[in-house]
Structure 1
C-alpha cells in the first residue's frame, strides 16, 4: 500500500545572501546527518494550507516569527516516490534579517553563503532543487518538479507550473 507524506519547507536568505540551513541530527529518521531547509510535515488540519505549515515550522525550528519573514512565496512543488511512500514537498522562498533564537533536537542551524551551499552533503532531490534555484533564481510562477529514473539513473524534471488556458477559459 502506498502512503503519502506532505512536507512544507523554506529557503530563507538574509541580507548577506546566505541561506539558513539545518544540519540534521544523526538521530533523525529522514535524512540523518544531511543538510536541508527548515521545514517539516504538514499536520492533518494544514493539508490545504502548506503556507501555514511552513510558517509554523519556521517558528518551531528557528524562533523566527511570521512578522520577521519577507516575501515568503511558493516556488517549488516536488513529488517523489520513496519506496512505498509518495512525498510531496511545498518549497517556499523568502528573506529574513532575524537570527534563529532557539535550539532544537532536529539539528543545528547555520547561515551558509550562497556559493558554499552545494558543498554540503544534501539529500538527492534537495540538491537538484538548490541547483535549479541557484541557476534560475526567483520566478513569477512556481515550478513543478518530479523525481524519477531514466536510463542514466535518478533525475528530477522541472516544469513551470502555469495555467494552460487563457484567463476566463474553463
Structure 2
C-alpha cells in the first residue's frame, strides 16, 4: 500500500472569500475540479507539511509567507483510495494580508469564492466535508481536527475528532 501526502490551504481575503484553483481539464490530478491551494508533499518535506503548504502556495499563487497571516494547521484528513493508497491531507487556514489579484497558474485559474458557493461547485468530497465542518464548528475553535473518510451507505462523509495529546488538547 502506498502513501500519498498532501498539504492544502484555505486562504481568506478581507471579504472572507477563499482563494481556490479551478484545475484545467487536461490536468493529470483532479482535472476540472475546484480545489484549495496546495498539492503533494515532496520527499524532503515529509516531516514538515507546513513547509510544503507554503511552497505550494508560492508555486500556485505567487504569494510568499509574508503575504499570509495566521497560516495554521486545522485539519488532518485520512482516506483510503482503492485499497492501494492511503491519502493523508494536511489542511491549513490563513489570511491573505492585502488585496491579491487572481491570475492563471500553470495548473488552472485562480478565483475567490465564498465558502457557501463552493458546496455547489465541482469539488472533492473531502473539500465539501472540510467546508461543512469549518462552517459549523471549526471557525469557532482553534483546535486541530482529524477526520477519516468513510461511506457506509454510498454517501461519503468524514468522522471528526479533536486531535489531542493524552492529557491536554493541542493548541
User: Unaligned regions of 5+ residues in structure 1, if any?
Assistant: none
Cα pair 1:19 1:117 within 8 Å, conserved: no
Distance in 2 (CA, whole Å) between partners of 1:111 and 1:153 is: 28
1:106 aligned partner: 107
Q: 1:68 to 1:166 in 2, by over 3 A?
A: closer
Cα deviation digits, residues 48-75 of structure 1 (max 9, x gap): 0000000000000000110010000000
Shift of 1:149: 2.3
Distance in 1 (CA, whole Å) between partners of 2:154 and 2:22 is: 29
Shift of 1:114: 3.2
Cα pair 1:75 1:143 within 8 Å, conserved: yes
Cα pair 1:63 1:101 within 8 Å, conserved: no
Aligned with residue 163 of structure 1, among 152, 162, 165: 165
Cα deviation digits, residues 93-117 of structure 1 (max 9, x gap): 0000241565322111001123322
Equivalenced residue count is: 166
Distance in 2 (CA, whole Å) between partners of 1:51 and 1:166 is: 23
Give 4+ residue runs of structure 1 displaced > 4 Å after superposition: none
Distance in 1 (CA, whole Å) between partners of 2:16 and 2:93 is: 12
User: Unaligned regions of 5+ residues in structure 2, if any?
Assistant: none
Q: 1:45 to 1:3 in 2, by over 3 A?
A: same
TM-score (norm 2): 0.90
2:138 aligned partner: 137
Distance in 2 (CA, whole Å) between partners of 1:137 and 1:3 is: 30
1:47 aligned partner: 46
1:118 aligned partner: 119
Shift of 1:135: 1.5
Distance in 2 (CA, whole Å) between partners of 1:166 and 1:127 is: 29
Shift of 1:162: 1.2
Root mean square deviation of aligned Cα: 1.7
